[in-house]
Amino acid sequence: MLALLPLIVLLLTGLALVGRADTTRGAAYRRRALFLAAAAWGIWLAVSSEILSLAGQLNRAGLSIVWLLAAVVILSVPALRMAVVKGVRDIFAAVKTVRGWSGFEKLLLGGLVLEALLLLAVAWMAPPNTNDAMQYHLSRVMHWLQNGSLAHYPTAIDRQLWQPPWAELAILHLVGLGGSDRWANLVQWGAFLGTWLGASGLAAQLGAGRKGQILAAWVCAMLPMGILQATGSQNDLAASFWLLGVLLLVVKAHQQARYPDPAGFAGLCWLEWAG
């Protein structure tokens, strides 16, 4: 299951940054750390795609190498390895606090989990079939994989050549490693779940309590267009995810009367532009 390699690296990166975050200052710090981890992962995905493209090796072997390399770096650097271990402990500690939630809060959380699982089932079992996916999103992915390169190619649908490419690059990595278009819809599905975290994080930064944060996630989870696109292979939810990451940093910087973290802000803005 080579398609799991990027997801494993994303998990390790998230755990490492959560382990390095000051989570004693609130759950919002943990959520911002997850967005920064996603940004680091997303930049590596884009940069590695360009490098493989230059070498004409945008194929399963090349993709496997770049993700194995990323995993080895994370697990071999002592500071990162220790941060991953600490991140695991922090996440388990956060999960244990659910026991103390009220019945209504547990019901709301259970509803979100159920929706996520139902959408995952549809995304996995139903092949991409929207007009946009057929004409543009997946078409460029298959051309890139066939050519082993991101270079322009002859096409009558010119938006395949000039539209922002990040979401399709993510699809390329999953489809190229997995050997099936079943993986194509998981980018939007994962981005949709990420927007729930972002909405709840923004609510936390604006002073909402635990129930308010869960309700904010519910508002995001109930958006009809979000539900529809979460099982497809377009790019709107990916762009929304990166925009929420930018907002998390900007709101916190405004509250602290300082500039946002330059590296994280630049990375998230670039991904929002490239999404």
Q: If pLDDT is split at 50, 70 and 90, which confidence band does 23 have?
A: low
User: For 170-195, what is each residue's pLDDT tens digit?
Assistant: 999 999 999 999 999 999 999 999 99
Half-sphere exposure of 186 (CA within 13 A, CB side): 19
Retrieve residue 178's tokens: 């997995």
Average pLDDT across the chain, whole number: 92
**pLDDT for position 231:** 95
**pLDDT for position 266:** 86
User: For 111-168, what is each residue's pLDDT tens digit?
Assistant: 999 999 999 999 999 988 888 888 999 999 999 999 999 999 999 999 999 999 999 9
On the question of pLDDT at 28 being above 80, the answer is no
**pLDDT for position 68:** 97
Do the Cβ atoms of 179 and 60 come closer than 8 Å? Answer: yes
The structure's pTM equals 0.94
